[in-house]
Amino acid sequence: MKIRDLEKGKNIIVYDLGKSEHSEGMTIVGRVIELEYNEDGKNTATIQSVPFQRYTVTDDNYFDYWKDYIESKTERLSENGITVDKKHFDNIDEEHFHHKARVEAMHNAIEETRGYVNEYLSNDVQQRKRKDMVNSPSHYNRGKIEAIVIIEQIASAYPIKVALSIGNTVKYLIRAPFKNGVEDLKKAQWYLNRAIDNWDVK
């Protein structure tokens, strides 16, 4: 590819920017912002990379359009049996790809942080579950009103000597379908019988 083949505004990847006898140069991705055609054949392109670094590319450099580079990589992956849909690469901000090492490092840091956060949240969820089993167990919470409120309302209307038994009756009736089923219904029946037996006791 030559400078005359480039279009302004397109992204390119330069594989050997700054190449010399002592260095292989560096790989840079940038957007073509200027094209200069000289009569002596020494054409140049100025590319802008992130963060706003400008580089001069000549016909002596080895470069491709970024999109072609990505497509060649996805085709190579496909040939090796890994299916990669090229359309996923169409929306990538191409200017940022020369920061691949930074992106990978950030990705690794994010994944590590995500691990810590998930571990913390997992522990936090366990603590909340333990606390909820004391303060607000799920088998006593149906609808908008907690069971304890209903139990207190109903039991407070009864004489003190049977209020506890009535409260327990209501408690077991409320939780039966969500916890122990028939066993809770039998407990409710036992407490109701106790309330009946103690109703007239002086």
pLDDT in tens, the chain (202 residues): 899 999 999 999 898 888 888 888 888 888 999 999 988 888 999 998 876 788 999 998 999 998 887 777 654 444 444 444 444 444 455 444 544 555 565 666 666 666 666 665 666 555 555 556 556 666 556 566 777 888 888 888 888 888 899 999 988 888 888 888 999 999 999 999 999 998 887 6
Query: Are 142 and 94 part of one and the same domain?
Result: no
- Residue (of 148, 124, 144, 126) closest to 136 by Cα position: 148
| Total number of residues shown for the chain | 202
What does the pLDDT read at residue 98?
44
What is the distance in angstroms between the CA of the first residue and the CA of the last residue of the chain?
A: 106
What pTM value is reported for the model? 0.38
Q: Quote the domain boundaries for residue 175.
A: 138-197
Rounded to whole angstroms, how far apart are CA atoms 150 and 143? 12
Q: Is residue 174 part of a domain?
A: yes
As given in the structure block, the two tokens for residue 171 are 């408690």
Q: Taking the mean position of all CA atoms in its chain, how far away is CA 200?
A: 63
- Residue (of 64, 26, 72) closest to 45 by Cα position: 64
Q: Is residue 104 part of a domain?
A: no
Query: Are 143 and 72 part of one and the same domain?
Result: no
- Residue (of 165, 136, 132, 133) closest to 151 by Cα position: 165
Q: Is residue 128 part of a domain?
A: no
What does the pLDDT read at residue 95?
46
Query: Are 8 and 87 part of one and the same domain?
Result: yes
CATH number (domain holding residue 18): 2.30.30.30
Rounded to whole angstroms, how far apart are CA atoms 196 and 162? 8
In the chain, the largest separation of any two C-alpha atoms, in whole Å, equals 119
Sign of CA dihedral 172, 178, 181, 183: negative
Query: Are 77 and 150 part of one and the same domain?
Result: no
Q: Is residue 115 part of a domain?
A: no
Q: Is residue 121 part of a domain?
A: no
Question: Cα torsion for 91, 93, 97, 99, to the nearest 10°?
Answer: -140
Which H or E run includes 55?
strand 53-58
